[in-house]
């Protein structure tokens, strides 16, 4: 099989779809794989995928992303997100492929009061965060110039089951909205993140850790207010809620604003403001297939 530019894991996920489309938009070739073709729990399947497709670069987006689910099944999370990533990094090193591993703001404990630089101390609060950190260590441990860890946060994109979609569904069905005020982060649109990941590879940024997120920071409450305003639903009241009231299995950092300056410097510009990203997302999401219900509407997989 002729080598491709990219092998994309988690290609059918929320970020994966945006990445596949951004790659096509740049006229490059990619093979996308999901859990059926390349299960992260199977070392042989990972080696076969990299060995068969011989990508120049693997964009590793696949992960167990249900934060509360990971808390209830930490071994499953460590196997997929930690060990699976370690096996993939080994295969990439063996076949001379670059590796971009998408990680998370949940590697931080949220005790900071200013944005987290790439070299800030990590202290994950949850099994999900710890499992993603294991993946980071496995990638960074190779010390390769063409291996990158890109931490991002509060991801949303067209067609995905995500926070803006849950807020809009609930507002449009007339259900009351109460949203968390005591967690602050940087919403990030899959389309903008996809561009940043491809830029990192194409510009061959120095190996190591980067932070990628849309410009601006807010609480989940502020995020909800911004989504409703952009959708012409600014009149819908949004009540306030403390995170502790949700009694979720997995703790989340109270403050996980990422300092993106290293990536901004490489690209010569920051990612767009998150309010601008919400507007573009709303335009595209209206055309995308409706996602499955997110249970209580706000208790979705990641946020």
Ligand X SMILES: NC(=O)c1ccc[n+]([C@@H]2O[C@H](COP(=O)([O-])OP(=O)(O)OC[C@H]3O[C@@H](n4cnc5c(N)ncnc54)[C@H](OP(=O)(O)O)[C@@H]3O)[C@@H](O)[C@H]2O)c1
Of 4, 28, 29, 34, the one binding ligand X (CB under 6 A) is 34
CB-CB contact of 92 with 58 (8 Å):
yes
CA gap 97, 86 in Å, rounded: 14
**CA distances in angstroms from 203 to 86, 207, 242, listed in the order given:** 25, 11, 42
82 binds ligand X (CB under 6 A): no
Could you say whether residue 280 binds ligand X (CB under 6 A)? no
102 binds ligand X (CB under 6 A): yes
User: What is d(CA 67, CA 240) in angstroms, rounded to the nearest whole number?
Assistant: 22
Q: Which stretch binds ligand X (CB under 6 A): 32-40, 110-118, 209-217, 219-227?
A: 32-40
Q: Which is nearer to ligand X, 236 or 259 (CB)?
A: 259
Residues 163-222 contacting ligand X, CB under 6 A: none
Q: Is 40 in the site for ligand X (CB under 6 A)?
A: yes
64 is an interface residue for ligand X by CB under 6 A: yes
The minimum distance between CB 237 and ligand X, in angstroms, equals 26
Q: Which of 41, 69, 74, 291 binds ligand X (CB under 6 A)?
A: 41
Report the distance separating Cα 12 and Cα 222, nearest Å: 29
**How many residues appear in the chain?**
303
- For the four alpha carbons of 200, 203, 204 and 206, in that order, the dihedral sign comes to negative
Interacting residue with ligand X among 126, 153, 183, 214 (CB under 6 A)? 153
Answer yes or no: are the C-beta atoms of 154 and 163 closer than 8 Å.
yes
Here the tokens at position 77 are 């999370």
Q: Is the CB of 236 or the CB of 257 nearer to ligand X?
A: 257
**Catalytic residue from among 78, 101, 116, 128:** 128
Reported as half-sphere exposure (CB side, CA atoms, 13 A), residue 65 has a value of 24
Chain residues that interact with ligand X, rule: CB under 6 A: 10, 12-16, 34-36, 38-41, 61-65, 80, 102, 104, 132, 152-155, 160, 302
Catalytic residue set: 128
């Amino acid at each position: 099989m002729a080598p491709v530019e990219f092998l994309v894991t988690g290609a059918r996920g929320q970020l994966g779809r945006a990445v596949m489309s951004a790659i096509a938009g740049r006229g490059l070739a990619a093979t996308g794989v999901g859990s059926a073709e390349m299960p992260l729990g199977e070392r042989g399947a990972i080696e076969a995928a990299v060995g068969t497709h011989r990508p120049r670069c693997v964009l590793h987006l696949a992960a167990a992303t249900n934060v509360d689910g990971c808390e209830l099944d930490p071994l499953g999370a460590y196997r997929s997100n930690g060990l699976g990533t370690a096996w993939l990094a080994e295969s990439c090193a063996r076949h001379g492929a670059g590796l971009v591993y998408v990680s998370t703001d949940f590697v931080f404990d949220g005790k900071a009061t200013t944005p987290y630089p790439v070299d800030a101390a990590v202290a994950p609060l949850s099994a999900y965060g710890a499992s993603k950190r294991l993946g980071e260590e496995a990638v960074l441990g190779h010390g390769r110039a063409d291996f990158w860890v890109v931490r991002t946060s509060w991801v949303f994109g067209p067609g995905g089951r995500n926070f803006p979609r849950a807020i809009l569904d609930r507002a449009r069905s007339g259900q009351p909205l109460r949203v968390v005020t005591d967690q602050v982060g940087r919403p990030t649109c899959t389309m903008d993140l996809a561009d940043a990941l491809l830029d990192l590879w194409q510009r061959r940024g120095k190996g190591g850790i980067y932070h990628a997120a849309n410009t601006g920071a807010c609480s989940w409450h502020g995020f909800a207010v911004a989504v409703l305003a952009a959708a012409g639903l600014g009149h819908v009241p949004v009540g306030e809620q403390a995170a502790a009231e949700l009694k979720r299995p997995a703790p989340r950092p109270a403050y996980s604003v990422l300092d993106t300056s290293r990536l901004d410097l490489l690209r010569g510009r920051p990612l767009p403001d998150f309010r601008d990203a919400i507007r573009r997302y709303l335009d595209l999401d209206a055309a995308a297939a409706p996602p499955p219900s997110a249970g209580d509407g706000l208790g979705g997989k990641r946020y």
